[in-house]
């Protein structure tokens, strides 16, 4: 059997798994968040994950 | 749910999970991955169950009740063609549309000069796989979705909205189907999701098999880098599937086909296919999930590599791999499933099926760690009397 080299880390990982539009990118569009920023971030990321799962399931499942 | 049905569910789940963990249950579990077989048995066409998932769900429940299987998949005809049609996907031939109503859906290999990813697109895939899928891949596999920068169309918008809504609906319905199987049939789910190895994805949905084999010879470093780029996303998707199985009882299936003999050289298995898949499997196992290696074809040449994995981290499915070698190399560490040839279920006699089941139980199940199943998904050519023979013989002979 041939030697199995360790997979080298990629130089540019691009968008992280689970992310389409990162919160940081969206956050910059709000001049100021008057109330609880954490709830806005959490729900943004939850919805963003749905878009991520959509396209990956198109590839993997359908 | 009645107490009796809940007790039956618990009994079967215990039996199935014990075997999956390479333990010794009260008897060998019967866990057929029944696809278009459920249509033939239930009186439906392939078109009906592929196009209307509620008919598929009904057909699965009928089989679960009448065969009394220990575990089954809520819908093994996993491609809901109404969804792929809503998105204009080009890579399937749907029963009753492009092919006859009684033929299982077919995957269409793209022509080499019209693959869904060009060789020069590897860098974009490696750089940002998720953006690549939206911006490059979807516009190529869909007749409706356009690439960024191109004039927007009504059909483009509809394909994305309808595809997203349909997927949400379908996955929600699959959850309800698992609940129905539990309540009406006392049947646990066989698997917790379905994924693929990185290199299989490149062969199946991006470059095509012919394109992949050419790339392996001409630009192997880019193929490897692409597999490495896909791997963390596969781990992420697999772990996200745990919402359907929070107790981590059942394995996440990986359909493995293009990495085995004779599709790629041993060198490419050793340097690309296996290292990138292994990382995914180890990542999934670190979250407590087993993986089912649904090893289509003959993987005998690679059994020693699979034996490197942590004990119990996988379940190995026998298709055309050598059963004796598989049991010798993997049997002490991992559960083995399957091995009844589909041709035997389609063309053999019930006695021949029983003889094969006895051979498999004697070989693979002396101390547990085996689940009875066909070699590959059961389609509409499997004879019901042979599936009955496989089931009933195992229930009787497979007792410990």
ipTM of predicted assembly, 2 dp: 0.96
Domain boundaries of chain A, sorted by first residue: 23-60
Q: Which residue has the tokens 């019901």?
A: B384
A12 Cβ under 8 Å from any chain B Cβ:
yes
Which residues in chain B have their CB less than 8 angstroms from residue A19's CB? 130
CATH number for B181: 3.20.20.210
Q: Are B222 and B122 in contact (CB under 8 A)?
A: yes
Q: Which residues of chain A does B87 touch, with a Cβ-Cβ cutoff of 8 Å? A: 58, 62
CA dist., res. B260 & res. B301, Å (int): 8
Cα–Cα dist B277/A1, whole Å: 17
How near does any CA of chain B get to the CA of A47, in Å?
Answer: 12
Annotate B221-232 with b (16+ C-beta within 10 A) or e (fewer).
ebbbbbbbbbbb
Spatial distance between the Cα atoms of B246 and B232, rounded to a whole number of angstroms: 21
CB pairs under 8 A between A and B: 98
C-beta of residue B39 within 8 angstroms of C-beta of residue B53: no
pLDDT in tens, B19-48: 999 999 999 999 999 999 999 999 999 999
The C-alpha atoms of residue B353 and residue B135 are separated, in whole angstroms, by 49
Nearest to B162 by CA among A58, A22, A20: A58
pLDDT of A4 over the 70 cut: no
List pLDDT tens digits, range A35-49.
999 999 999 999 999
C-beta atoms of B130 and A6 within 8 A: no
CA gap B325, B323 in Å, rounded: 6
**Considering CB atoms only, which of B130, B168, B231 is closest to A52?**
B130
Q: B168 lies in which domain range?
A: 3-397
Contacts of B258 by beta carbon, 8 Å cutoff, 6+ apart: B199, B200, B203, B204, B209, B212, B264
Number of domains in chain B: 1
> With 70 as the cut, is the pLDDT of residue A13 above it?
no
CB-based contacts of A38, cutoff 8 Å, min separation 6: none
For residues B70-89, give the mean pLDDT. 97
CB-nearest partner of B138 from A2, A18, A58: A58
Mean pLDDT computed over every residue of chain A: 84
- Residue A59: partners with Cβ closer than 8 Å, 6 or more residues away: B133, B137, B201, B205
**Pairing mode of beta strands B194-196, B291-295:** unpaired
Q: What tens digit of pLDDT does each residue of B257-311 get?
A: 988 878 999 999 999 999 999 999 999 999 999 999 999 999 999 999 999 999 9
């Amino acid at each position: 059997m041939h030697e199995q080299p360790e997979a080298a880390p990629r130089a540019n990982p691009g968008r992280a798994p689970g992310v389409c539009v990162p919160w940081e990118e969206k956050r910059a569009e709000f001049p100021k968040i008057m109330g609880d920023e954490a709830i806005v971030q959490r729900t943004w990321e939850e919805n963003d994950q749905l878009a991520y799962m959509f396209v990956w399931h198109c590839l993997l499942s359908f | 749910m009645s107490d009796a049905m809940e007790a039956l569910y618990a009994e079967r789940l215990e039996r199935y999970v014990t075997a999956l963990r390479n333990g010794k249950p009260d008897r060998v579990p019967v866990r057929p991955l029944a696809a278009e077989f459920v249509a033939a048995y239930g009186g439906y066409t392939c078109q009906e169950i592929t196009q209307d998932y509620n008919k598929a769900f009904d057909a699965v429940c009928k089989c679960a009740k009448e065969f009394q299987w220990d575990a089954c998949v809520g819908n093994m005809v996993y491609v809901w063609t109404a969804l792929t049609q809503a998105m204009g996907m080009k890579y399937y031939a749907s029963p009753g549309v492009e092919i006859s109503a009684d033929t299982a859906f077919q995957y269409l290999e793209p022509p080499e000069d019209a693959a869904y990813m060009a060789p020069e697109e590897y860098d974009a895939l490696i750089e940002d796989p998720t953006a690549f899928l939206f911006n490059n891949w979807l516009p190529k596999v869909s007749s409706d979705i356009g690439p960024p920068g191109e004039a927007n169309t009504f059909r483009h918008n509809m394909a994305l909205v309808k595809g997203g809504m349909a997927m949400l609906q379908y996955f929600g319905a699959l959850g309800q189907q698992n609940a129905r199987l539990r309540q009406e049939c006392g049947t646990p789910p066989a698997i917790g999701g379905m994924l693929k190895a990185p290199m299989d994805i490149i062969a199946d949905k991006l470059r095509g098999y012919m394109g992949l084999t050419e790339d392996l010879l001409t630009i192997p470093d880019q193929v490897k880098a692409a597999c490495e780029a896909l791997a963390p996303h596969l781990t992420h998707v697999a772990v996200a599937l745990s919402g359907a199985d929070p107790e981590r009882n059942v394995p996440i299936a990986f359909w493995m086909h293009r990495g085995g003999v004779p599709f790629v050289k041993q060198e490419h298995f050793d340097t690309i296919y296996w290292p990138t898949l292994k990382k995914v499997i180890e990542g999934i196992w670190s979250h407590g999930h087993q993986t089912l290696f649904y090893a289509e074809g003959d993987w005998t040449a690679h059994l020693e590599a699979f034996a490197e994995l942590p004990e119990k981290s996988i379940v190995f499915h026998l298709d055309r791999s050598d059963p004796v070698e598989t049991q010798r190399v993997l049997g002490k560490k991992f559960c083995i499933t399957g091995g009844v040839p589909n041709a035997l279920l389609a063309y053999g006699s019930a006695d021949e099926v029983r003889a094969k089941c006895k051979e498999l139980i004697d070989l693979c199940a002396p101390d547990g760690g085996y689940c009875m199943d066909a070699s590959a998904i059961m389609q509409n050519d499997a004879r019901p009397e042979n599936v009955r023979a496989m089931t009933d013989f195992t229930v009787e002979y497979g007792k410990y």
